């Protein structure tokens, strides 16, 4: 419980720690190293999340070797590196320039082709990223922390990082990244659906849209955000969620505000759940 409080203090001070001491960066380097060294194939790809998870377990064990309060401080720091609240808000804000979405800022948070997107689709991309990050960057790591402690949060972040690095359905990664992608799907399945109940607290329409218009396996938060804002969200060629009007810049800012509220609720629920476990 106390490590969560410490983690939120770190989060309030700085969005991300320096890369040299950031476990997520370390997990990414493990994935990058194995990607370069191993041949293509599903079997070899399994070694990537496996190695990252082993590293996460070792990291989670270290605070227990230290005396109090150093153990709490290190545990809090490591937990803080698994959560992305302030950094998501900073990335979203960086996408806004002169009252519009700046493509240069947007391409730092989404991987889609931006050349043919309309203005409302650019707004949509930012809102989708915010909604997805509520699960990937806030709710899921805190949920796994609540149940399994620091080990749960770090293991979640390790798998999620591997998916971000190699979990693509193209070229070499169609096979090599399959294990990372499927494992990420599994660990996000429950958090994605639990996210709907946080949206329900804010809006019944958000919950209904989240249930009925889920665009992909773990896309509940995206469709719920569309319902919450009363807008349509679209990733051209992949999905379209129609819950209202074309999103405007004001909707992007509202999504950021709702993200703060949702994240606050996730932190409080994690704190309460951790006290009960």
Dig out the tokens for 69 from the structure.
């309060």
Give mean pLDDT, residues 212-236: 90
136-175 pLDDT, tens per residue?
A: 999 999 999 999 999 999 999 999 999 988 888 777 777 8
Structure-derived torsion over alpha carbons of residues 213, 183, 4, 11, reported in degrees to the nearest 10 = -70
Give mean pLDDT, residues 195-217: 92
User: What integer pLDDT is reported at residue 102 of this predicted model?
Assistant: 85
Residue (of 138, 143, 155, 124) closest to 89 by Cα position: 138
User: Quick one: pLDDT band at residue 83, thresholds 50, 70, 90?
Assistant: very high
CA distance 16 to 177: 26
Residue (of 158, 249, 116, 141) closest to 194 by Cα position: 141
More confident position, 210 or 276: 210
Dig out the tokens for 267 from the structure.
């932190």
Per DSSP, which regions of the chain are E strands? 96-97, 100-101, 232-235, 239-242
What is the total residue count of the chain? 277
**Inter-CA distances, 69 with 6, 56, 63, 151, 249, Å:** 11, 21, 10, 19, 45
User: What integer pLDDT is reported at residue 110 of this predicted model?
Assistant: 85
User: What integer pLDDT is reported at residue 224 of this predicted model?
Assistant: 95
The pTM for the full model equals: 0.92
> What is the distance in angstroms between the CA of the first residue and the CA of the last residue of the chain?
10
User: What integer pLDDT is reported at residue 117 of this predicted model?
Assistant: 83
Q: What is the CA radius of gyration of the chain?
A: 19
9-54 pLDDT, tens per residue?
A: 999 998 889 989 999 999 999 999 898 888 888 888 899 999 999 9
User: What integer pLDDT is reported at residue 112 of this predicted model?
Assistant: 80
* DSSP-assigned states of every residue in 152-187: HHHHHHHHHHHHHHH--SSTTHHHHTHHHHHHHHHH
The chain-wide mean pLDDT, for the chain, equals 91
3 state SS of 235: strand
3 state SS of 232: strand
């Amino acid at each position: 419980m106390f490590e969560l409080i410490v983690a939120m203090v770190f989060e309030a001070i700085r969005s991300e720690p320096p890369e040299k001491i950031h476990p997520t960066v370390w997990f990414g380097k493990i994935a990058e190293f194995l990607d370069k060294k191993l041949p293509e194939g599903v079997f070899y790809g399994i070694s990537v999340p496996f190695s990252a998870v082993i590293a996460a377990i070792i990291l989670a064990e270290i605070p227990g070797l230290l005396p109090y309060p150093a153990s709490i401080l290190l545990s809090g720091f490591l937990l803080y590196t698994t959560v992305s609240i302030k950094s998501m808000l900073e990335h979203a804000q960086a996408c806004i320039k002169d009252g519009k979405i700046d493509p240069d800022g947007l391409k730092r948070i989404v991987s889609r082709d931006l050349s043919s997107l309309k203005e409302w689709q650019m707004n949509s991309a930012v809102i989708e990223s915010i909604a997805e990050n509520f699960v990937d960057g806030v709710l899921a790591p805190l949920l796994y922390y609540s149940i399994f402690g620091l080990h749960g949060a770090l293991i979640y972040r390790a798998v999620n990082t591997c998916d971000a690095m190699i979990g693509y359905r193209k070229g070499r990664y169609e096979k090599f990244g399959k294990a990372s992608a499927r494992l990420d799907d599994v660990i996000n399945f429950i958090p994605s659906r639990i996210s709907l109940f946080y949206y329900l607290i804010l809006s019944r329409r958000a919950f209904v849209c989240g249930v009925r218009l889920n665009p992909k396996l773990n896309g509940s938060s995206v469709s719920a955000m569309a319902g919450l804002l009363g807008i349509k969200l679209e990733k051209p060629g992949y999905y379209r969620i129609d819950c209202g009007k074309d999103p405007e810049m004001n909707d992007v800012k509202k999504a950021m505000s709702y993200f703060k509220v949702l994240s606050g609720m996730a932190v409080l629920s994690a704190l309460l759940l951790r006290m009960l476990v």
